[in-house]
Amino acid sequence: MSDKGYVFPTSIDKCIVLLTKHAGAARLIAGGTDLMLFLRERKTQSRILVDITRIPELQNIEVGPEQVSIGAAVTHAEVALNPFVRKSLSALADGCESVGSPQIRNIATLVGNVVSAQPAADGAVALLALGAEAEIVSAAGRRRELAENLYVGVGRSKVDPSEELITRLIVKLPTQRFGTAFARYAPREALSLPLVNTAVWLTANRGRIEDVRIVMGPVATHPLRAWEAEKILKGVDLNDGIALKEAAQIAAREAHPRDSLLRGSGQYRKVLVRELVEKALKSAANQVKEGV
């Protein structure tokens, strides 16, 4: 563990100054639910921990007419309980509500769920389906990237927490009608990593799908887009159950779950992908129809 120090910067600028000063030896911490274990197990090392949770501008969920912005210190519990997110971005609320235990959700941040870069992360899978962007600040300045482009490998993010900070996640709200849904399959009802999870986002015009994103986990080294399934859904009638089912089958073919002694055979998990994607597509389509 760090034996040198633990600091609370009060602004983003001060935070970056600290990271720069320690030149790679400092590390950001927010919820710390992964990091503290890694430090204890010596999987990672750090001279100084820079806690971002007391930076006021990182603490809020801001809901505007065109976008929702989620600060880096916002926890899964806060996202899951936000009235707007629950009503209009239910995939994200459901994903965040599925992570860990109440204790974990009360402290672990959604940004942390992205940076920890686990392929099964329920919050991140939902977020990616919503097409979220990450605002990243470093000494070099401020930039934006699609969250789904931040994945390098299992547990490896492009964002280096000893140099830069995701300040917030931005989810743009479509002008046309849209629906979202999250689904997961786990061996028990709570406190369990999913065998498979998925999130769907779709927009529609005159009862037909215009745009759609399907994200699946853990079926690859990172949350995986079902590109082929998305392609065939463009223009499909929201009521066309057969087409939704067919898309789910294609999504299952796109998934590459490995055989695992703990999670089961890849073949079986592909079956679950098909089930969950179909369920999520139907649920998202219903939201559009019901005008939620």
Partner 1 sequence: MIRGYRYIGHKQPFIDAKEKVTGRARYLDDIMLPGMLCGKILRSPYPHAKILAIDTSEAEKLPGVHAVITAKDCPPNRFGLSIPDVNILAIDKVRYVGDEVAAVAADNEGTAEEALRLIKVEYEELPAVVEVDDALAPDAQLVHSDKPGNVATRYHLVRGDIDADFARCDYIFEDEFQTSRVHGCYMEPFGAIAEWDQRDRLTVWTGIQAAFHARNEIALALGIKPSQVRVKSPYIGGGFGAKIWIRNFHPVAAVLARKSGRPVKIVLTREEEMLTTRPRTPAKIKIKLGMMADGTLVCKETKIWANNGAYSWAAPKILLNMSMRTDCLYRFKSTKTESLLVYTNLVPTSGFRGYGNTQMHFALESMIDNASRKIGLDPVAVRIKNAVRQGDVTLHGWKIRSCGLTECLEEAYNRIRVGRLPKEAQGGRIKRGIGVACMNHVSGNRGGDNFDGSAAMVRFHEDGRLFVYSGESDMGQGARTVFAQIAAETMGIPIDDIVIMPLDTDISPFGYGSYSSRVTTVGGKAVYLATKQLKEQFLKLATKVMQAEVDNLEIKDGLVYDRLNPGNKKSVADVARIGVRTKEGAALTVYYTYDPPTEGSDAEGYGDYSSAYNYGAHGIEVEVDTETGRVKVLRVVAAHDVGTAININGVIGQIAGGIAQGLGYGLLENVIHDNNGMPKTTSLRHYIIPTIKDMPQIEPVIVETNDPIGPYGAKGVGEPTLIPTAPAIANAIEDAVAVRLKDLPLTSEKIFWALHSQSKEGRK
Residues 6+ apart with CB under 8 A from 208: 235, 236, 237, 238
Minimum Å gap between C-beta 275 and partner 1 is: 6
Minimum Å gap between C-beta 13 and partner 1 is: 35
Using alpha carbons, list the distances in angstroms from residue 167 to 77, 96, 216, 266: 18, 19, 25, 36
For residue 174, what is the DSSP state? P
Q: What is the amino acid identity at position 141?
A: G
Return the number of the residue (60 or 249) whose C-beta is nearest partner 1: 249
What's the gap between Cα 188 and its chain centre? Answer: 22
Q: Which two tokens stand for residue 10?
A: 């009060």
Return the number of the residue (62 or 259) whose C-beta is nearest partner 1: 259
Minimum Å gap between C-beta 37 and partner 1 is: 10
For residue 46, what is the DSSP state? -
Helix (H) or strand (E) holding 21: helix 12-22
Tell the burial category of 46 from Cβ atoms under 10 Å away from its Cβ (0-12, 13-18, 19+).
buried
Return the number of the residue (22 or 269) whose C-beta is nearest partner 1: 269
Half-sphere exposure of 72 (CA within 13 A, CB side): 27
Return the number of the residue (238 or 272) whose C-beta is nearest partner 1: 272
The contact set with partner 1 (CB under 8 A) reads 185, 187-193, 261-262, 264-265, 267-268, 271-272, 275
Minimum Å gap between C-beta 38 and partner 1 is: 14
Tell the burial category of 162 from Cβ atoms under 10 Å away from its Cβ (0-12, 13-18, 19+).
middle
Return the number of the residue (110 or 193) whose C-beta is nearest partner 1: 193
E-state strands within the chain: 5-7, 26-29, 48-51, 61-63, 67-71, 133-138, 141-146, 151-153, 156-157, 165-172, 177-185, 196-205, 208-217, 224-225
Return the number of the residue (145 or 275) whose C-beta is nearest partner 1: 275
Minimum Å gap between C-beta 266 and partner 1 is: 9
Return the number of the residue (165 or 183) whose C-beta is nearest partner 1: 183
Minimum Å gap between C-beta 82 and partner 1 is: 24
Return the number of the residue (67 or 101) whose C-beta is nearest partner 1: 101
| Other C-beta atoms lying within 10 Å of the C-beta of residue 24 | 12
Minimum Å gap between C-beta 187 and partner 1 is: 5
Minimum Å gap between C-beta 255 and partner 1 is: 15
